[in-house]
Amino acid sequence: MKFDELNINKIIIEKIKEIGFKEMTSIQEKCLPEIIQGRDVVGQAETGSGKTIAFCLPILDKIKRNKRIQALVITPTRELCIQVSDVFHDFGYNLGVKTTSIYGGVGIEPQIEKISTSDIVVSTPGRLLDHIRRGTINLGSIDFLVIDEIDKMLDMGFIDDVEKIIRKTPKSRQTLMFSATILNGIDKLMHKHLNNPLIITTKNYVDKSKLKQEYYDIYNQKNKFSLLLHLLKNNKSGLSIVFCGTRSEAEAVSINLKKHKINASAIHGGMTQKKRLQSLNSLKNEKTDVLVATDVAARGLDIQNVTHIYHYDVPKTSIDYIHRIGRTARAGATGKTITLLTGPDHDNFRRVQSNDEIEIKKVNYPDFEKVSFHRKKKYGKKSNRYY
């Protein structure tokens, strides 16, 4: 189905043509007509499937400029909050629709001022509850409620906060939930707060023809960073994301890559919002070649031209693995994902491989130079160790 077949505002259709969108993705084709008709919808689709467009366009088509909040979108992370807000802004600009993103880690006063003139608010749960307690936001007249990445909300322990927010909204609203997976906790929330929802799913699989999956079984853990460095130096195409299990590991890997002349930046929950956005924008604008990240970057973020995913630390589940690799081999492009497997990773790796849709081929690692890895210790001291 093509976008210009939709019965929505011509200004939105023109913007779609300007951007270059033509054919809808599976989740868009299934969701858009139903949302336009006013149905409550639960949409499940893999990372990178275009879920944001699926709820953004129908909402913008129905928004009327009247200086009240008409739509609320809740997201689990600050990065996704900003990204979703940007989509609403881009498509709503020529309509005169105003969108505000509110999240923690930045001053609240500028947000208060913008809320008063906004038609759409995109927010993380914690900061939204802060505004509710202060009385600086009124959700009593919203027509649309979107809960994005609801499975991630559950993982991060935000469900109670989401429940509190929902109770502040009118029951007459149209409610949309989007997720990469459908879990038991989500099912309960869906039946409690949605009105006869239509559940729309797309097949969640790894396209083996587009994505090459490999792993190196590194017998000596001290060689882990050296192999990563070698692989990155020999990768001459596209952008790369290196996933680490902890904030400290992501920071240390990023710092050490820079010391070896790799144009890398980090993103993790311990950074200020300003620095996190700088890292993301630097990769999106191709000013850096490598993003070293914790799993905060695996969900929802729109980063184009990623050709390689490196699992410096193996994720805990096959679902987490699929979320990570969803950042590459998108829109018909090819990609490659490489797992650096050492002793402590084997339990997680077995869980990843338990998914029959995932086939990761073992490869022999090449000759590479052993380099030192500097890790900060307490009191600012450093140790030189091979990893």
pLDDT value for 204: 54
Distances (CA, A) of 363 to 4, 218, 336: 46, 11, 13
Q: Which residue has the tokens 């609320």?
A: 72
Quote the CA–CA distance of 206 and 378 in Å, as a whole number: 42
Per-residue pLDDT of the chain (387 residues; tens, 9 = 90+): 888 889 999 999 999 988 888 788 888 999 999 999 999 999 987 666 788 999 999 999 999 887 789 999 999 988 889 989 999 999 999 999 999 999 998 899 999 999 999 999 999 999 999 999 999 999 999 999 999 988 888 888 898 999 999 999 999 999 999 987 766 667 788 889 999 999 998 765 556 778 899 999 998 889 999 999 999 999 877 889 999 999 999 999 999 999 999 999 988 877 776 787 788 778 777 778 899 999 876 565 667 788 999 999 999 988 788 878 877 876 667 889 999 999 999 999 999 999 888 899 999 989 999 999 988 764 444 444 444
pLDDT of res. 209? 78
Q: Which residues neighbour 57 within 8 Å (Cβ) at sequence distance 6 or greater?
A: 6, 8, 12, 16, 32, 91
Given this model, what pLDDT does residue 380 score? Answer: 46
Ordered by where they begin, the domains of the chain are: 3-201 (3.40.50.300), 211-385 (3.40.50.300)
Which residues lie across from 176 on neighbouring strands? 41, 146
Token duo for residue 323? 């979320």
Under 8 Å between Cβ of 376 and 230: no
Residue 280 is predicted with a pLDDT of: 79
Write down the pLDDT at residue 26.
86
At 381 the pLDDT is 46
Provide the residue type at 38 as one letter: G
pLDDT score for 36 = 96
Task: Read off the pTM.
Answer: 0.72
DSSP state letter for 4: G
In this prediction, residue 21 carries a pLDDT of 82
Q: Exposure string (b/e) for 43-76, b if CB count within 10 Å is 16 or more?
A: bbbbbbbbbbbbbbbbbbbbbeeeeebbbbbbbb
Q: What is the dihedral of CA 348, 349, 353, 358, to 10 degrees?
A: 110
Residue 172 tokens read as: 């007459």
